[in-house]
Amino acid sequence: MAEEMVKFTKLRTAIDPNFWAKFAELKLDKYKLEEKTEISVWASYSLDRSTKTKSLLGLDCTSFNENVETTSHHGAVPCSGYLINTNTFETFRQIQPEKFI
């Protein structure tokens, strides 16, 4: 029987509460009122063929670490990206999501 390869799978996002706690700490202590700061983040996902559930893209407090080796991806596939820090609703609305795709 030929082995099937995954070409595409939908990912569900699982954000641990400690991710938001770390982001709040960084926002207060490091980024302060800087607008549209691109903050590098790491996430990870795993493809568990034994279950029929969709894969989770997980973020936690280690997602802000600069080195992927110090994140808690526990053997899952690491992936990188960034989030944009804004301070007002008006600034948030000026972001054009189609530029990120």
What CATH number has the domain bearing residue 76?
3.40.140.70
Q: Once rounded to an integer, what is the mean pLDDT over residues 10-23?
A: 91
Q: What's phi and psi for 71, nearest 5 deg? A: -90, 165
- DSSP class of residue 4? P
Asked if residue 78 belongs to a domain, the reply is: yes
* Residues 6+ positions from 15 with CB-CB distance below 8 Å: 58, 59, 60
**Is 64 domain-assigned?**
yes
**What is the spatial distance between Cα 12 and Cα 7, in angstroms, rounded to a whole number?**
17
Query: What is the average pLDDT across 30-40?
Result: 83
| Position 70 confidence tier, pLDDT thresholds 50, 70, 90 | low
Q: At 27, is the secondary structure helix, strand, or coil?
A: helix
**Whether the predicted pLDDT of 80 surpasses 70:** yes
Instruction: Identify whether 5 is part of a domain.
Output: no
Query: What average pLDDT is seen over the chain?
Result: 81
The answer as to whether 95 is a domain residue is: yes
Boundaries of domain holding 74: 11-99
Q: Does residue 6 sit within a domain?
A: no
Count of domains for the chain? 1
Reported pTM: 0.73
